[in-house]
Amino acid sequence: MTNTNEPSWDEIFRPAGGEPIRPQTPAAPEPGTGAYPGVRASDPFAVAAAEAQSQHASPPVAEATLTRRELREREEQQASRGGRSGGRPPSGDSAKPKKKRRGLIAILVILAVVIAGGGGAAAFAWINYEDNVRELLGWEISNDYVGEGNGTEALVTIASGDLGDDVARKLHEAKVTLSFDAVWEYLIAREAAGDPVVFFPGTFRLQREMSAESAVAAVTDPANQFINQVLITEGMSYHGALEQIAASTEIPIEDLQAAAEDYMSFGVPAEAPNLEGWMFPATYQFDPGVTAQEAIQVTVDEMFARLDALGVAPENRLNILKMAALVQRESGPNVEDMYKIARVFTNRLDQNMLLESDATVAYGTGNTDTVWTTEEERQNPDNLYSTYFHPGLPYGPIGLPGEEAIKAAITPAEGPWLFFVPINLQTGETVFSETASQHQAAAEQLYEWCRASDENASYCE
């Protein structure tokens, strides 16, 4: 696991020389062995993914007619039966039933206000106690908003290759829809009716608190798409950025891809494998008639300007972007975690340890939309991005880092950590550990989270 010939982090910043070796496309991996073929048992991320996929596979016939929510509710009921006892119930005329009766009376009073009261009192009671009233009357609690929004604008970016569950997550996370399930169930119903929804890349203008139906209609309506305004998001690959530019301008994707091939014409150093990492994530407004070369140059010049402002010397740009892109890809929304993740990788470099990032391995296979990998992919010497096999920083950046990730790469947090694992892929909550045993205990929390619901499982695929 160690390599005594590995240079220190300070030595890494020395300018690299010589002609770089270009990555080769690795052969398709053969199925592995064990409980999950092709999955390394000791890899918490891969095992969690396999378990989530296994649980998320086609349900038994008896469950096939249940909805996603009904399945989840049944699982929760089964789990509650196996839970430990809360202790012996109190004897005699205890306070607990009295509290329950008082709660019932309170809800009945609220219900009376809703039914008989008027104006502000009824509205206040309904807004604050709707779920209680619905539960009391047996009314189903809706997972969907009604209407076409509350007037507050929300921007949603659909990336190339996004599927229904990706869009459902993005709409919910942008507070456009009330829940993931509302959109997912609507898409399933459309599919069953023979009218599947097709999504196209681009940035769309929506509103918060839209019904699932109106949100899907809005995000598939070209009239809501920004024209000549391009949003490039942190962590996106440069291929995705080119597709975003093509989707929001009149520049053909073929012209952008051809221009990107000559990446050194934009000022990117020859030691870099390609344009990856050098287009700064931001919102750009391009004038009509802009060329592919001009559009890309704007994004690269912005990256140069940001690096210069942070004091990064030109000879150190590539290594900083390698680390920053890795931090960006591995981190969640918590900015403080970026600095801790940068410290983990810095500590491993300084101790001559392999970085062992599945995100780099996945990038080397061409699967930029996942971080789940197989043992053969990790140990493939032809995958120059495999940080399980090749020591040091990745062969090149694995995405487009934002400014916070760049800052984290320059000045990592102080700490002794050597491991980290997210335990909630929706919120990005991450546990940092000093030892392998601590890391494994944290990984168990990830397994449990992935199995908790269909929505969670969609993050673990």
Q: How is the chain split into domains, by residue range?
A: 9-50+317-459, 100-137, 153-224, 229-309
Overall size of the chain counted in residues = 461
- Residue 192: the pLDDT is 93
Tell me which residue has tokens 């760049």: 406
Q: Show contacts of 220-229: CB within 8 Å, 24+ apart.
A: 226/202, 228/285, 228/286, 228/287, 228/288, 228/290, 229/203, 229/283, 229/284, 229/285, 229/286
- Residue 61: the pLDDT is 38
Ranges of the chain with pLDDT below 70: 1-140, 368, 371
- Residue 332: the pLDDT is 82
Q: Which two tokens stand for residue 269?
A: 């150093």
CA distances from 289 to 231, 232, 262 (A): 18, 20, 21
How many whole angstroms separate alpha carbon 13 and alpha carbon 311?
14
DSSP label at residue 151: S
- Residue 122: the pLDDT is 53
- Residue 125: the pLDDT is 54
User: Where do runs of H (alpha helix) occur along 138-223?
Assistant: 164-173, 180-192, 212-219
How many whole angstroms separate alpha carbon 397 and alpha carbon 405?
12
pLDDT in tens, 26-39: 333 333 444 444 44
- Residue 253: the pLDDT is 96
202-221 per-residue burial string, b: 16 or more CB within 10 A, e: under 16: bbbbbbbbbbbbbbbebbbe
Looking only at the bridges linking them, the beta strands covering 283-285 and 419-424 are unpaired
DSSP codes joined into one string, 328-349:
HHH--S-HHHHHHHHHHHHHHH
Report the topology of domain 153-224.
Dna Ligase; domain 1 (3.30.1490)
